[in-house]
Amino acid sequence: MLEQIVKRNNVKLLGHGRQVLVFGHGFGCDQYVWSEIAPAFEDKYRVVLFDYVGSGKSDKSAYSTERYGTLHGYKQDLLELCDALEFENIVFVGHSVSSMIGMLASIERPELMDKLVMIGPSPFYMNEDGYYGGFERTDINELLDMMELNYKEWAKYLAPVVMQNEDRPELAQEFEQILCSNDPVIARQFAEVTFTSDVREELEKVSVPTLILQPQFDAIAPPEVGRFVHSRIDGSELIVMEAMGHNPHISDAEETIAHIQAFLDR
């Protein structure tokens, strides 16, 4: 079982500490996005990197639309990974949709998770009366249609929107390459799950200490969403970062590391 899950999720174990620090990537990404973050924690923590099934170098033959048609399939991956490796009292750092996957895992198994770090989280990406998610339903439909029609053009369009930092075009170029490394069919299905899931009612069930890192300008998960998440998770801490764009762990690794480290030290 252990060997199967390690292969399925392309699990990498690094570091030497007693407490386990698990990093979960967002939609369209893989564990590579933590390459500037993870090494900063290897001296004090057992660092775990992995790819969700269908992403990166995971075992794509394990992918099924039945299991991964909701966020709960990805949550199950995370729980099975932790159980197979006999982890306890982990710190989970999740980016974007992975924040919500980690949240769902913490609700189901609060004894497993010691702390939760959310980077650019969103429990629901679409606007409704009284709630600003950042997208209209037509925006999401157009995005999904574009992925189906021409995946590479979609990646070329989306990368600079996600990354911002126009003065550093290499960031968008790098992120475009990450997006293009995905299987287009699986990526489109993961996108639909990501952008149409609504887990707002789950937020108030979170019982573990939670840090929310919100970039000051984020076209995918706007600051209004970060404030909403903070208002619904009792005792959570919200930090509005200097970083711009949806991927501060790529664009502003030092600031991201500093905030996570300070939270872990408290």
1 confidence band (pLDDT: 50, 70, 90): confident
**Which candidate in 218, 230, 251, 252 is catalytic?**
218
Q: Is 203 exposed, middle or buried (0-12, 13-18, 19+ CB in 10 A)?
A: buried
Whether 139 is a known active-site residue: answer: no
Residue-wise pLDDT for 70-115, tens only, equals: 999 999 999 999 999 999 999 999 999 999 999 999 999 999 999 9
3 confidence band (pLDDT: 50, 70, 90): very high
pLDDT of residue 266: 87
**Which candidate in 25, 246, 249, 259 is catalytic?**
246
Rounded to the nearest angstrom, the gap between the alpha carbon of residue 129 and the centroid of all alpha carbons in its chain is 26
Whether 55 is a known active-site residue: answer: no
Report d(CA 221, CA 210) in Å as an integer: 17
**Residue 138 within a domain:** no
Residue-wise pLDDT for 194-205, tens only, equals: 999 999 999 999
What is the span of the domain harbouring residue 252? 2-124+198-265
- pLDDT of residue 166 exceeding 90, the answer is yes
**Residue 134 within a domain:** no
Question: Number of structural domains, the chain?
Answer: 1
CATH number at residue 202: 3.40.50.1820
**Residue 149 within a domain:** no
Rounded to the nearest angstrom, the gap between the alpha carbon of residue 215 and the centroid of all alpha carbons in its chain is 14
**Residue 22 within a domain:** yes
Whether 218 is a known active-site residue: answer: yes
- pLDDT of residue 149 exceeding 90, the answer is yes
Nearest to 238 by CA among 223, 218, 249: 223
**Residue 105 within a domain:** yes
Contact (Cβ atoms closer than 8 angstroms) between residue 110 and residue 82: no
**Residue 172 within a domain:** no
**Residue 132 within a domain:** no
Instruction: Output the CA angle 157-214-78, nearest 5 degrees.
Output: 85
Residue-wise pLDDT for 24-60, tens only, equals: 999 999 999 999 999 999 999 999 999 999 999 999 9
**Which candidate in 96, 98, 99, 251 is catalytic?**
96
Contact (Cβ atoms closer than 8 angstroms) between residue 223 and residue 125: no
**Residue 193 within a domain:** no
pLDDT of residue 216: 95
> Percent of the chain, pLDDT > 70?
100
